A and B are shown apart, each in its own frame.
Chain A
Amino acid sequence: MNDNNNHNDKIIIKGLNFYYGSKQALYNVTIAVKENEVTALIGPSGCGKTTFLRCLNRMHDLYAGNRYEGEIILDNANILDKGLDLIKLRSKIGMVFQKPTPFPMSVFDNIAFGLKLNGISKKSELAALVEKALKDSALWDEIKDRLNESALSLSGGQQQRLCIARAIAVQPDVILMDEPCSALDPVATAKIEDMMTELKRNYTVVIVTHNMQQAARVSEWTGFFMMGEVKEFDKTQKIFTTPSNQMTEDYITGRFG
């Protein structure tokens, strides 16, 4: 592929297989995620998008019996290595979940939680960084008077943006998003899509989405998953105009899925 941009490969996934116990969920996934661009993952439900995303920050390690094969290269190191420091990895790779996951504490403490993990403890510094994260996620004006309220009292859309703010506050290299808008209304969705354009200036974003228009709007690259395999991976524009795989075309034109 001779694309005319000069973005580096941020994460290179080579021959990734993943197993839930004896059940294989990913088959030989090989793609490269470009730095400072948005990569969208699409495909029918149950095809392995979430499973793939959770390989990138080794979330599967939380549950016994899960197994990876292959390589995921981030900054010249294979993150699937046994001895890898998961805490360090996860502080470099942020994650936003399908449903908002506010912590049962104040709005301020939600964001400060990650900052404190990184050793920031001075009050003034925390306050400044919390404000910055909320401004970066376009939430500041809406909730600057509610910083001491429980995060659980925010609306769903606000909670999700708070989760994004929490993830970017610690300045990871990569942000993984698993259908971040699927539980939100169109207005909240639009706000998050706006954010995404801002985010890719500083971050590499991988987003799973069910929404074709969203993939087309926000991403530079798109991967089409089916039954645990990547059927096609290419520039978003190419995928949505002249896909080379018949299945991709059927899926994005809504013939199945």
Chain B
Amino acid sequence: MSKRYLMRRVFNCAALSGSLLCAVFGIFFLFWILKDVFSSGIGAMDMAFFTELPSPPGVAGGGLANAIWGTVLITGMATVIGVPAGILAGTYLSEYGRKKRFASVVRFLCDILVSAPSIVIGIFVYAVLVKPFKGFSAVAGALALAIIMLPVVVRTAEEMLKLVPDATREAALALGAPHWKVTLQVVYRGAFRGIITGVMLAVARISGETAPLLFTSFNNAFWNSNITEPTASLTVTIFNYAMGPYDDWHAKAWGGAFIITFTVLFINILSRLLLRGRTGS
């Protein structure tokens, strides 16, 4: 008896320290990255970084204003395309499709799309949009990012909608409400926070993408407000500057990494807080 108890304690102790070690391993690298990005990037933060265009190669000074704006523009357009489509598809899966065959096919395709390498999606948009229209553009970049975020939004929207109990839907229908009204006024309200959280995480995910943008929005050294022209983005700029020969470029690349990393971190923390608020009420 006591031997079995001892074994159990030993086993418990081993499992505990094993998982603790793994957690520390992960956290260690996360903090290492955060620390490096912070200490190397913070130095690049000045007013010019946010307001000025890049200076000519090799000339110190200037900023990444166009790339920051480009990232906001491309991510924003991707969100405008991807989020409504994703929420509607998630609504179909949860409220209408349920056990239908078509719904399970859609689910399966979403799961495949989630794990598709983002560079493949970039090349796809290159083939269908960039090449035929003979030009890189913010629209093409946004489309690639929208495709990347779409399956994530679809599945989280579905999951969050499914968390609303069926009894709640039945109760609304039993009052004589039509199906669409139940979805719009009851189910969406119950799932609102969860869906917003999912959307935020999806936005965070796409705002760090580089590979698909290389094939779609490409880059631009100047201000550009035309969404059918090549457009700079932070991630592509980081990629170019980090590969470049100049110290000033390296500092700027760190600055860009700093902005993206901490924005994504901020979005993640914010969505956590939102979800916590939900369980609290």
Residues of A within 8 A of B (CB): 57, 59, 62, 87-91, 93-95, 97, 99, 101-105, 113-114, 117-118, 150, 152-153, 163, 166-167, 170
Contact of A90 among B176, B185, B189, B190 (CB under 8 A): B176
Query: Is the Cβ of A150 less than 8 Å from the Cβ of B172?
Result: no
Which of B163-192 touch A at CB < 8 Å? 164-165, 167-168, 170-178, 181, 185-186, 189-190
Seen from chain B, the residues whose Cβ lies within 8 Å of a Cβ on chain A are 164-165, 167-168, 170-178, 181, 185-186, 189-190, 281
Q: Among B167, B172, B175, B281, which residue has its beta carbon within 8 angstroms of that of A152?
A: B281
16 A-B residue pairs with CB within 8 Å: A59-B173, A87-B178, A94-B175, A97-B170, A101-B168, A101-B170, A101-B171, A104-B164, A104-B168, A105-B189, A114-B175, A117-B177, A118-B176, A150-B281, A167-B175, A170-B175
Asked if B186 and A103 make an inter-chain contact with CB atoms under 8 angstroms apart, the answer reads yes
| Nearest A-chain residue to B181, judged by Cβ | A117
Which residue of the partner chain B has the closest CB to A150? B281
What are the nearest 5 A-B pairs in CB distance?
Answer: A91-B176, A101-B171, A104-B190, A95-B174, A90-B176
Distance to closest chain B CB from A100 (angstroms) = 9
Indicate if the CB atoms of B175 and A166 lie closer than 8 Å: yes
* CB-defined contacts of A87 to chain B, threshold 8 Å: 176-178
CA distance A182 to B164 in the complex (A): 22
> Which residues of B sit under 8 angstroms from A103, Cβ to Cβ?
168, 171-172, 186, 189-190
Chain B residues with Cβ below 8 Å from A88 are 176
Most chain B Cβ neighbours within 10 Å, of A91, A105, A117, A118: A117
Query: Count the A-B residue pairs with Cβ separation under 8 angstroms: how many?
Result: 67
Contacts A114-B175, A150-B281 given; 11 further ones with Cβ under 8 A?
A: A57-B174, A62-B173, A88-B176, A90-B175, A91-B176, A95-B171, A101-B165, A113-B186, A114-B176, A117-B181, A163-B171
List residues of chain B with CB within 8 A of the CB of A152.
Answer: 281
- Bound Cα distance A202, B281 (Å): 36
**Minimum CB–CB distance for A165 against chain B, Å:** 12
Task: Give the residue name and chain of the A residue nearest to B175 (CB).
Answer: A114
> Which of B165, B175, B281 lies at the interface centre, i.e. has the most chain A CB atoms within 10 A of its CB?
B175
Contacts of A105 in B (CB 8 A): 186, 189
Closest to B166 in A: A62
Question: A113 touching B177 by the CB < 8 A rule?
Answer: yes
B186 CB, nearest partner CB in chain A, Å: 5
Shortest CB-to-CB span from A146 to chain B, Å, is 14
Which residues of A lie under 8 Å from residue B185 when comparing CB positions?
113
- Name which residue of chain A comes closest to B185, CB basis: A113
Nearest-neighbour CB distance to chain B for A24, whole angstroms, equals 22
The chain A residue with its CB closest to the CB of B174 is: A95
Whether the Cβ atoms of A62 and B176 lie closer than 8 Å is no
For residue A118, which residues in chain B have a CB less than 8 angstroms away from its CB?
176
> Residues of A contacting B171 with CB < 8 Å?
95, 97, 101, 103, 163
Name the A residues within 8 Å of B175 (CB-CB). Answer: 90-91, 94, 113-114, 117, 166-167, 170
* Most interface-central of B168, B171, B177 (chain A CB within 10 A): B171
Q: Name which residue of chain A comes closest to B100, CB basis.
A: A64
Knowing A62-B173, A94-B175, A117-B181 are in contact, say whether A101-B281 is a contact too (CB < 8 A). Answer: no
Which of A57, A103, A170 counts the most chain B CB atoms within 10 A?
A103
Question: Please, how many angstroms separate the alpha-carbon atoms of A117 and B186 in the complex?
Answer: 13
- Of all chain A residues, the one with the shortest Cβ separation from B193 is A104
A170 to B175, CA, bound (A): 8
Q: How far is the CA of A113 from the CA of B185 in the complex (A)?
A: 9
Across-interface contacts of B186 in A (CB, < 8 A): 103-105, 113
**Nearest chain-A residue to B190 (Cβ)?**
A104
Within the complex, the shortest CB–CB distance from B201 to chain A, in Å, comes to 22
Instruction: Give the chain A neighbours of B176 by CB distance below 8 A.
Output: 87-91, 114, 117-118, 170
Chain B residues near A101 (CB-CB < 8 A): 165, 167-168, 170-171
* Contacting residues, chain B, for A150 (C-beta < 8 A): 281
Q: Complex Cα distance A93/B170, Å?
A: 13
Note all chain B residues with C-beta closer than 8 A to A114: 175-177
Complexed CA–CA distance, A87 and B172 (Å): 11
CA distance A251 to B199 in the complex (A): 55
B280 → chain A closest CB, angstroms: 11
Closest A residue to B99 by beta carbon equals: A64
List of B residues within 8 angstroms of A62 by Cβ: 170, 173
Question: Within 8 Å CB of B164, what residues of A?
Answer: 104
Contact A59 B177 (CB under 8 A): no
Please give, as numbers and ranges, the residues of chain B lying within 8 Å of A153 by CB-CB distance. 281
Could you tell me the distance in whole angstroms from the C-beta of B184 to the nearest C-beta in chain A? 12
Chain B contacts for A163, CB-based, 8 A: 171
